[in-house]
Amino acid sequence: MSLFDDDFYSSRVSRRKNRWIQEDAKQSKVLRSKSNWSNMRVAVLSSTISAAAAVLLFGTLFYHGGDSSDKKTPAASSAVTATQTADPYEKTITAAAKVRPMVVSVINEQYALGGISSSTGDDSEAAEGQLQQVGVGSGVIFEKKDGKALIVTNYHVISGSERVEVTMTDGTSRVATIVGGDQITDLAVLQIDDKGIGDVAEFGESSKLRNGEWVMAIGSPLGLGDSLSSGIISKTTRMIPVSLNQDGNYDWEQEFIQIDTSINQGNSGGPLIDLDGRVVGINSMKIADIGVEGVGFAIPIDNAKPIIDSLIKYGVVKRPYLGVYTLDLDQYLAQQALTKPKDNMDVPNTGVDGSSVEPNAGVDGDTDSSSLSDAVDDTGIIIPDEVKDGVIVLEAVGPSQEAGLKFNDLITKLDKTPIGSTMELRKYLYEHKKIGDTIEITYYRDGEKQTVKLQLSEKSKDDD
């Protein structure tokens, strides 16, 4: 027998029902219904009463005795909305649709080497037609003001460019002006005409991110514009050493968000967004090596905001300027260990600065160094036994030169803080000092400890 083979699910009119509604002048309806009462009707009535009681009881418990007419409808609506918005697939689609129109491709154009006319000395005409694309990155429009739209991207995306071109999601291109850039934080701000540009991207709060949270990267990987990739946050805060000059020597340490979202060439400068469509980071780099998968990094937007503000206001990030070009002591010693001849007769007699150096010469030119506990290097640098870390001054300019620092001075402290590398020197300056502050430098010259105080200045364009 089918589940639906009964009167409750049939379109036919029951004979019992016909008999139930017939008029009988000689007998009341009450008596009639009693005489025709069946087990089925008893079961139906009992079920109905039980269901009604359950609904009333549930309503009382759920609304704590409140007025159901006031609370039922909003609660039901909220439950439906929560169920819909909790769907991660829908949220990725909604978030991507919100931000994608604001994401652009950033094209770095430079003059081709063959386009420069060295024979005539006039390269303006020859080079003008030889601009070529040397790199593609991404950017995101975050502000509109006074007929202009501002775009944030990576510094390395536009570094060395003669012209920067921006391609919108609709395929149109515009020439961009560089408002400012900062190599240390790898951020830059561009400006274009805001014609046809609607909304701008909303910045979120990277400090509220959690490990495992879903995020998406939008950009132009391999030049393929308007491309999406998704993943999770592997680590909200990861300190990564950076070589600013790309020479293999780490001279800065930067905070990143580590993600497993696919990041490829061309993604640099594009936004990392959360599932609410807010920019929480600027995609910056990935680790590309054999056996490495899903290790990408983005600059936290909370760290980027003050840099962006400074670039808009000044075109640069104003930082205290010491005026020294340095080499880490441990790096220097490693180089010396590799190049130092085994035979003392082959020790070179030329220092780093090209001056003549006598092998084993002491502080005052005394060739008998047996009484000295200081190590005399074959370049003329005297490194005391107690000194294990520091930075060697290769050139002193600006405030340092005015204070008397010279080539081969070995800096070991700033104020009372030990300095073991160029990275530590920079971090101390930028995190603990401001323009105009006084700083005390402890250094060794010819093996003797000295100190000097100087006032930190602002770096000018002539100091670059």
3-state secondary structure of 418: strand
Catalytic-residue membership of 156: yes
| Pairwise CA distance, residues 186 & 269, whole Å | 9
The residue with tokens 């020294």 is: 324
Structure tokens at 401: 């030169």
Long-range contacts of 248-255 (CB under 8 A, 24+ apart): 249/328, 249/331, 249/422, 250/423, 251/421, 251/422, 251/423, 251/426, 252/184, 252/423, 252/426, 252/427, 253/423, 253/427, 254/184, 254/185, 254/186, 254/299, 255/300, 255/303
Catalytic-residue membership of 64: no
Does an H or E element contain 338, and which? helix 329-339
285 within 8 A of 235, measured Cβ to Cβ: no
Q: State the angle between helix axes of 68-85 and 39-62 in degrees (0 to 180), rounded to the nearest 10.
A: 80
Does an H or E element contain 331, and which? helix 329-339
CA atoms within 13 A on the CB side of 339: 11
The residue with tokens 């240390």 is: 184
| Pairwise CA distance, residues 276 & 260, whole Å | 19
Structure tokens at 428: 């101390």
| Pairwise CA distance, residues 464 & 455, whole Å | 19
Active-site residue, from 105, 138, 156, 220: 156
Could you count the other beta carbons within 10 Å of the beta carbon of residue 291? Answer: 4
Report the largest interatomic distance among the alpha carbons of the chain, rounded to a whole angstrom: 144
| Pairwise CA distance, residues 325 & 323, whole Å | 7
Q: State the angle between helix axes of 68-85 and 88-99 in degrees (0 to 180), rounded to the nearest 10.
A: 70
What one-letter code names the amino acid at 115?
A: G
Q: Where do the DSSP E strands lie in 38-147?
A: 103-111, 131-145
Catalytic-residue membership of 186: yes
Active-site residue, from 105, 138, 186, 220: 186
Active-site residue, from 220, 268, 310, 421: 268
232 within 8 A of 217, measured Cβ to Cβ: no
Nearest to 254 by CA among 175, 185, 161, 326: 185
As annotated, the active-site residues are: 156, 186, 268
